[in-house]
Structure 1
């Protein structure tokens, strides 16, 4: 008897003998989505792709996740769990606020696709709520309350999100080439037609990302502090 004949004579394996699949959970779905995103990119994170990874049907996922937008929001919230709120003795309230927002920015810089999603999808998970609470607490420590704090929060989170969207994983050579091309375009601008561009040519492309980010942070905070003071 040949090995193939022996294999054909084996009785079919009962479904009951197969290992049981892990129970489907919301956290399991999010974990699978994170794995797919890190390996293949956010554009591959679909209900169908996750269902394949979890050996289930796409319809089963909707019991735990409302839609793709909800799933993306939960992915962002999971990533925000890595952000650490600075300790009270880690500097002034402004220093700690900057460190906190830099942590948020760094998460988004790692995942530009998530940053683009964050511009149109409002996260609402526990890690995002903890970030919002920490920002408001630090603003309160600096004397910013009420509407100035509530509206200032949006600006403080929007800037690093937009900066992360603008950021992309380009090489240093590509960045240098793009900056050089922009400098050449500004230098060639007609001073009669674009007098302000010609006059600020060097400043328009001055500074690196870190120095510009630091400047923007202080401009935002100073503006929020000014808005906190009632005007006559």
Structure 2
């Protein structure tokens, strides 16, 4: 007697999949990143997680770069913006916001590298920009100069986190590279490289947080004393 295969349930009998939304896609991408790392957050892998085809995702997200930017924007919700409305020296409060932004990237090494080229445009990124601009305005930085300054400050923070991320990828290699650099700096010829020989120890000194905050203050002080160049054409030149 021939056995008949069990009939598959009709499409009507199957439970309906949740409707795709951009917020749902980004939420799933963030969860996937936390579980498997950013390198696994691709359109194909995300489609598998959502039980759909990659083509369905392109209706909501244009490409992987935009997806990673959306993931970054979601995580920016963890940045502490409260210093923007606190009391105290505006420079110190500005550095506290930038430190918090950098800490978020430190927690997600893959995302730090992606953030160098990602262009987030969501609400959390706009909130970060607004906080930075409000503090620069409080410090008397002209608006046109502040508009360029936020880009410079965020680039420095992002590059620092990305450099840290490179070491997190393979700590053994990073320690080896650092040891080689230290040996090279300390072993230079005083005649050929007199400045390096004199400053070999200083070039490697200082905890990372201290150097990061010093860098922020250097940039802030530079912004205060360096006018933007006048733009030709219809752009309004900066007023000091």
- Same fold per TM (> 0.5)? yes
Cα deviation, 1:154-196, whole Å, max 9, x if unaligned, reads 1110111000110032798876665443222112111111111
Cα distance in 1 for partners of 2:179, 2:5 equals: 72
Aligned residues: 227
Counterpart check, 1:63 vs 2:59? yes
Residues 171-180 or 142-151, more deviating: 171-180
Check the 8 A contact 1:148/1:228 in 2, yes or no.
yes
Residue aligning to 1:102: 99
**Post-superposition shift, 1:90?**
4.5
Q: Which region of structure 1 is more displaced relative to structure 2, 12-21 or 51-60?
A: 12-21
Report the Cα distance in structure 1 between the residues aligned to 2:171 and 2:51, rounded to whole angstroms.
Answer: 42
Output aligned runs, 1:121-136, within 5 Å: 121-136=118-133
Q: TM-score, normalised by structure 1?
A: 0.88
Asked if residue 147 in structure 1 is aligned to residue 144 in structure 2, the reply is: yes
Q: Which residue of 2 aligns with 1:24?
A: 20
Structure 2 residue ranges without an equivalent (≥5): 229-237
1:1-232 to 2 correspondences below 5 Å: 11-87=7-83, 88-168=85-165, 169=168, 178-228=177-227
Q: Residues 137 and 143 of structure 2 are in contact (CA less than 8 Å); yes or no, is this contact kept in structure 1? A: no
| Backbone CA RMSD of aligned residues | 2.5
CA distance in 2, matches of 1:172, 1:73: 26
Question: How much has 1:125 moved relative to structure 2?
Answer: 1.1
Distance 1:136 1:33 in 2: 30
